[in-house]
Chain A
Amino acid sequence: MADPHAELDLAQRYAAGTLSAAEAAAFEDHMVGCERCATEVRLTAGLRRVMRETPVALPASTARRVRWIAGAAMLLAASIATFMLMPGRRDTELRALGSFAEPPAFVGMSVRALPQHADSLFADAMAAYVARRYDAAAGGLRDALTAGVDSIPATFFMASAELMAGNPRVAEVAYARVIVAGEAAAGYLPEAHLFRARALLQLGRGAEALTDLAAVDRDSDRGAAAAALADSVARVIKR
């Protein structure tokens, strides 16, 4: 680790979770005794947090152009809205109801007594999920499923990763697979119904979303959220 640039690059990739397990272990062997690299890991983690919480800034010239275009677009939209009926607005409202900030929580699990290849794939994919690298998580969970990992949790979190990655169409189908498993997926059913409903709302399919929301067990910890969302969706559809 003589090249300081290589060290810093490794530290950044370590914090981002993009090193392989072997690379990460080798880096850790060095980092534990290297204050500079340990600081770089923390700096990267802090930076990722700040970026997540800071709106994207536009260059001044672009910002001026965007403001001008936005102003013109608002005028145009107002004019068009005057002459059009509201179904487009309804879809927009449904999509807004389908948006959310936090995905289902992953709490860690140890499925078998001895680690299998599929479990390792699952663990890696869930590390990506926790780190909010949803594309990587979805791909990793697909690999884990192919390798034979327990299909219900893997399918559930694959659906969640796809939803967070902006693929509601793929997500709702995957959630449906969990729901079809019935009792075998009992622990996942309330969230599977709730988040499938959100995926459907993002697709503008309000009536189907209502069916899923109605299926959420009202006594579950998702019951109240589902009831409130169903109420809002019903009001939008009735308009």
Chain B
Amino acid sequence: MPPTVTVSDSTAPQPEPTLPQAADLERLRGGLRIIAMRALGDADVAEEAVQETLTRALVALAAGRLDDSAKLAAYVAGIARHVCLHWLRDRKDTVPLDESDGPTSTARHPQLQTQFDPLEALISAAESERLRVAFRSLPAADQRLLRLCFHEDRSSAEVAAALGEPSDRVRKRKSRALDRLRRAFLGSESHETAKGGTDSVAPPMLNDRKTGSDNG
């Protein structure tokens, strides 16, 4: 039987590189929402910024401005940062600091009023509740470990020192505890097989957020 020889015919028409489509952009929406929410602190404004970003990205893609489709995410993230920056700079009307013709109490500018971590608005009530239950079910020692990491923002070395345990053991305990919380956060699905992910982000729980600072 003669050997099979494959010959590459350079004159044959090559398949066109597939350009990113609207559906590829749509998959980035969840991540874009995080960027916009973190930068702008307001769910409605962030949603507008995400929409503006996707529109600009679509126009840019149609005009062939992206050479390498592997860089789509970074390209669109850059557009999102640009959109957010412009939005923030355009809010000059919120800062009459140089005017002396009236009070400028911060409470009079609700557009960007954020008292809590803006990213919390991206967590649905169900996710939050599952996380709360899972956190409370952890052993007290693991709760303390996670508090040191996430609430007090201590470094791994500082956490190990505070707990008087070797860094390796602390890292493993943290990893195990986070696995449990991650599974709870995502429902019954494991992290690797989760579907929907950021695209399945529930509408922002605006009613859960305290946007004022009424201290009574």
**Which residues in A have some Cβ–Cβ distance to B below 8 Å?**
8, 12, 15-16, 18, 25, 28-54, 56-60, 62, 100-111, 113, 115, 130-133, 150, 152-153, 183-184, 186-188, 190-191, 194, 220-222, 225, 228
**A52–B151 touching, CB < 8 Å:** yes
Contact of A221 among B107, B141, B181, B210 (CB under 8 A): B107
What residue in chain A is nearest B33 (Cβ atoms)?
Answer: A38
Contacts of A225 in B (CB 8 A): 214-216
A64 CB to nearest chain B CB (Å):
12
B116 CB to nearest chain A CB (Å):
7
**A105–B107 touching, CB < 8 Å:** yes
| Distance of A100 Cα from B115 Cα, bound (Å) | 14
Interface size class of B (residues with CB under 8 A): 35 or more
Chain A: interface secondary structure?
helix
Against A, the Cβ 8 Å flags (1 = close, 0 = not) of B36-48 are: 0000010000000
**Which residues in B have some Cβ–Cβ distance to A below 8 Å?**
27-28, 30-32, 34-35, 41, 72-74, 76-78, 80-81, 88-92, 94-95, 97, 100, 102-107, 109-120, 122-123, 127-128, 131-132, 135-136, 139-141, 143-144, 146-147, 149-151, 153, 178, 181-182, 185-186, 191-192, 194, 197-199, 201, 210-216
If the complex has contacts A35-B30, A35-B197, A49-B117, are A107 and B136 also in contact, measured as CB distance less than 8 A? no
**A130–B41 touching, CB < 8 Å:** yes
What residue in chain A is nearest B103 (Cβ atoms)?
Answer: A187
What residue in chain A is nearest B186 (Cβ atoms)?
Answer: A39
What residue in chain B is nearest A114 (Cβ atoms)?
Answer: B89
Instruction: Tell me how many residue pairs across A and B have CB atoms closer than 8 Å.
Output: 224
B50 CB to nearest chain A CB (Å):
11
Contact of A59 among B74, B81, B141, B181 (CB under 8 A): B141
| Distance of A29 Cα from B31 Cα, bound (Å) | 9
Contacts of A15 in B (CB 8 A): 117, 119
| Distance of A194 Cα from B185 Cα, bound (Å) | 40
Contact of A190 among B95, B105, B110, B192 (CB under 8 A): B105
**A186–B131 touching, CB < 8 Å:** no
What residue in chain A is nearest B118 (Cβ atoms)?
Answer: A130
**A50–B131 touching, CB < 8 Å:** yes
If the complex has contacts A186-B100, A187-B105, are A108 and B150 also in contact, measured as CB distance less than 8 A? no
**B213–A33 touching, CB < 8 Å:** no
Contacts of B106 in A (CB 8 A): 104-107, 187-188, 191
**A107–B94 touching, CB < 8 Å:** yes
Closest CB pairs A-B (n = 5): A33-B73, A187-B104, A108-B112, A32-B31, A29-B74
8 pairs of residues in contact across A and B, judged by CB atoms under 8 Å:
A31-B34, A32-B74, A47-B181, A50-B132, A56-B144, A108-B91, A150-B97, A186-B102
**B103–A33 touching, CB < 8 Å:** no
